[in-house]
Amino acid sequence: ALPAILHWALYRKAASPSLSTFVLLGPSGAGKTAFLTLRSKAAPITHTSQASTSTTVTLPPSVPIFSNRYRSVNDSSLSDSKRNPVQYILKDTPGHGKLRSAQISQLQTDLSSKKEASPTRGIVFFVDAASLSEEAESLRDSASYLYDVLLVLQKVVLNKGKSSSKAGTTVPLLVASNKQDLFTALPPGSVRQKLESEIDRIRKTRQKGLMDASAGSELNEDEDEILGGDDGRESFSFQALEDDIGIKVEVIGGFTKAEDGDADGGAGVRKWEEWIGKRL
Helices (H), the chain: 4-15, 32-39, 100-112, 129-134, 136-163, 188-214, 238-245, 270-277
Beta bridge partners of 88: 57
Among positions 22, 23, 25, 32, the unique one binding ligand GDP when judged by CB under 6 A:
32
179 makes contact with ligand GDP (CB under 6 A): yes
User: Residue 193, exposed/middle/buried by CB under 10 A (0-12, 13-18, 19+)?
Assistant: middle
We find the least distance from the C-beta atom of residue 125 to ligand GDP, in angstroms, to be 11
DSSP 8-state class, residue 258: -
Angle between helices 188-214 and 136-163 (to 10 degrees): 70
CA distance 26 to 208: 26
Part in contact with ligand GDP (CB under 6 A); list of ranges 50-58, 142-150, 179-187, 217-225: 179-187
Part in contact with ligand GDP (CB under 6 A); list of ranges 9-17, 25-33, 132-140, 238-246: 25-33
Mask for 99-128, x = binds ligand GDP (CB under 6 A): ---------------------------x--
Helix (H) or strand (E) holding 250: strand 249-253
28 makes contact with ligand GDP (CB under 6 A): yes
Count of residues in the chain:
280
Part in contact with ligand GDP (CB under 6 A); list of ranges 99-107, 141-149, 176-184, 190-198: 176-184
Among positions 19, 23, 25, 30, the unique one binding ligand GDP when judged by CB under 6 A:
30
Binding site for ligand GDP (CB under 6 A): 26, 28-34, 95, 126, 178-179, 181-182, 255-257
